Amino acid sequence: MANSVAFVFVFVYLPLSSYFQAFHAMAHEWPAGGSTRFYDFKVQTMRVTKLCNTKEIVTVNKMFPGPVVYVQEDDRIIVNVTNETPYNATIHWHGVRQKLSCWFDGPSYITQCPIQAGQSFAYEFTMVKQKGTFFWHAHVSWLRATVYGAIVVYPKTGVPYPFKQPYEEHIVILGEYWLGDVLQLERQVLASGGPAPPADAFTINGHPGPNYNCSRNDVYRIDVVPGKTYLLRLINAGLNMENFFAIANHKLTVVEADAEYTKPFTTDRVMLGPGQTMNVLVTADQTIGKYSMAMGPYMSAQNISFQRISAIAYFQYLGAVPNSVSLPAKLPNFNDNLAVKTVMDGLRSLKPVDVPKKIDTNLFVTVGLNVNKCRSKTPQKNCRGMNNGTFAASMNNISFVKPTISILEAYYKKIGGQFTVDFPGAPLQFYDFANGAPNNAPNNTQAINGTRTKVLKFGSRVQLIFQDTSTVTTENHPIHLHGYSFYVVGYGTGNFNPQTANFNLIDPPYMNTIGVPVGGWAAIRFVADNPGVWFMHCHLDIHQSWGLGAVLIVENGKGELETLPHPPADLPRC
Ligand code: C2O
């Protein structure tokens, strides 16, 4: 089996850009597990032309999507990030549990100050017992609209996949693209108090495909050999949209979700919220031809405008007529909640797992939107939310406000005034969350602003119930927890009811981002064994900007391997 990783490596074609292919071809040797892998990330602006429109985007190493980080399980990764743009930057390694390395997690004002223009910071962490498909993205403002790339972690040398070795592997990153400047857009949206405008296009590996204005030749393509099986590493790096993905006439077999193996589950389509990754096997078992791979919207909320045109890439058989029309892929309707549930129901851990059975800390957290009273003297300009209010979002009705230095630094150095430790373990007010707003007022549902954290004892066994609320609208929220994966032990529609809730304590999936069902709830469990300051937030950036987040602080344990080390010397200053 010593060859298996080399085999994988040789056949990973990286169609992300020719620049990368050149780089990739040079690296012939595969390191043994436990080695250190170095990467150099230069955050740079670059001119791109898409949809007949030229603009500057922020990228890493002038690549879009950015460079792929390739390592093996248990490897140490060192990425030196230099910010050559005028904007603040940080990089988050999404899904990496950062065991004892919270300083390198990346969310701005949570674990670090941003890397300022001209500065650099070396991220150093180990992929402790982790393998699979991850991604990295900027974690400051809306920069991650263009600053993202894949992380591929292979099993240790000699360790095969728990499924037949695919013939080739391909990374498929779903994204959203705006014609305008995204940072400017963010400022305008937040100042307006109103909703975020839809993206101008969806993209697959940076390419919108033929369906948009002036994009006919900007199409990503995988060339496939008839009869062979391909592993697609799907990543949703979009900003504000959840998405369906399907390939015309082909079945997808899910074998991994959020970088953990799952029982093989065969389906016609999958749904990924931003922050979710999924590995699927696809066999080229259809008649020779050109098939569409399609990415379309999943929108569970009411009265929100969104991009409805699908991004298309080609799954093209060798021998197909090159400029023949592609067979269209069938995507579910944008509001097909059942299709989403079917995918979720199919996700099971590969083997029985060790789910915490006894719980020390039980948290109940509502997730949803708010409408705050207009406080502006120019309401036409600044209060463009529902009923002339301003949109906000919250957990347990607390709208998260970022502090001015990082919470981790303030916590570690005992600097006061940056955060409080009173995040409530349950909402302050109970009502019919799934069907009504407090006092049946769909408007003026004021959130409380705060930088509130919840402190957890080292080793405590935590259960967290997320409950969607219906203020403004119910909606599927992709909730992401930093520093941990968690078992998704249950979910359902309506209000959570402990009497009737069905939990899977045998083989639930082990994830880092859970799509809380629209108008429903999800229950997760994990053991708080990684000390640090961990952000928990909706991975729709507009909701995160509106305050849909909170912070968990996990205290040190007793032993050396239970204690967060000192901060690195080059930790950026605010
Ligand atoms: Cu992928 Cu806090 O994010």
Annotate 441-471 with DSSP letters as a single string.
Answer: -SS-BPPEEE-BEEEE-TT-EEEEEEEE--S
Q: Residues 542, 523, 469, 533: is their CA dihedral positive or negative?
A: negative
Of all protein residues, the one whose alpha carbon is nearest to atom 3 of ligand 1 is 94
What is the separation of C-alpha 360 from the centre of its chain, rounded to a whole number of angstroms?
A: 28
Tokens 């599927």, residue located? 476
What is the distance in A from the centroid of ligand 1 to the CA of 152? 17
Type of residue numbered 27: A
User: What contacts 45, CB < 8 A, 6 or more positions away?
Assistant: 56, 57, 58, 59, 84, 85
With residues binned 3-state (H G I as helix, E B as strand, rest as coil), the percentages for the chain, rounded to 5, are: 10, 40, 50
What is the distance in A from the centroid of ligand 1 to the CA of 419? 20
What is the distance in A from the centroid of ligand 1 to the CA of 539? 6
Q: Which two tokens stand for residue 150?
A: 């894949």
d(CA 173, CA 68): 11
Q: Are 331 and 294 in contact (CB under 8 A)?
A: yes
What is the distance in A from the centroid of ligand 1 to the CA of 480? 7
Which phi and psi angles does 493 have, rounded to 5°? -100, 165
**Ligand 1 atom with minimal separation from the 110 CA:** 2
What is the distance in A from the centroid of ligand 1 to the CA of 92? 7
d(CA 420, CA 306): 36
pLDDT tens over the chain, length 574 residues: 333 333 333 333 333 333 333 333 333 333 345 899 999 999 999 999 999 999 999 999 999 999 999 999 999 999 999 999 999 999 999 999 999 999 999 999 999 999 999 999 999 999 999 999 999 999 999 999 999 999 999 999 999 999 999 999 999 999 999 999 999 999 999 999 999 999 999 999 999 999 999 999 999 999 999 999 999 999 999 999 999 999 999 999 999 999 999 999 999 999 999 999 999 999 999 999 999 999 999 999 999 999 999 999 999 999 999 888 899 999 999 999 999 999 999 999 999 999 999 999 999 999 999 999 999 999 999 999 998 999 999 999 999 999 999 999 999 999 999 999 999 999 998 999 999 766 555 555 899 999 999 999 999 999 999 999 999 999 999 999 999 999 999 999 999 999 999 999 999 999 999 999 999 999 999 999 999 999 999 999 999 999 999 999 999 999 989 999 999 999 999 9
User: What contacts 38, CB < 8 A, 6 or more positions away?
Assistant: 78, 79, 80
What is the distance in A from the centroid of ligand 1 to the CA of 134? 11
Tokens 């920069």, residue located? 143
What is the distance in A from the centroid of ligand 1 to the CA of 94? 6
What is the distance in A from the centroid of ligand 1 to the CA of 533? 14
d(CA 531, CA 77): 20
d(CA 416, CA 418): 6
Alpha carbon distances (Å) from 311 to 146, 192, 319, 329: 16, 29, 24, 11
**Ligand 1 atom with minimal separation from the 275 CA:** 1
**Ligand 1 atom with minimal separation from the 144 CA:** 1
- In the structure, which protein residues have their CB atom closer than 6 angstroms to any atom of ligand 1? 92, 94, 107, 137, 139, 275, 480, 482, 535, 537, 539
d(CA 171, CA 278): 10
Tokens 């799907």, residue located? 234
What is the distance in A from the centroid of ligand 1 to the CA of 144? 10
DSSP state of 160: P
d(CA 301, CA 343): 19
What is the distance in A from the centroid of ligand 1 to the CA of 96? 10
What is the distance in A from the centroid of ligand 1 to the CA of 395? 16
What is the distance in A from the centroid of ligand 1 to the CA of 398? 19
**Ligand 1 atom with minimal separation from the 535 CA:** 2
d(CA 22, CA 223): 19
What is the distance in A from the centroid of ligand 1 to the CA of 259? 15
pTM confidence score: 0.93
**Ligand 1 atom with minimal separation from the 107 CA:** 2
- Pick the closest to residue 358 from 454, 456, 463 (CA basis): 463
Q: Which two tokens stand for residue 44?
A: 């740079």
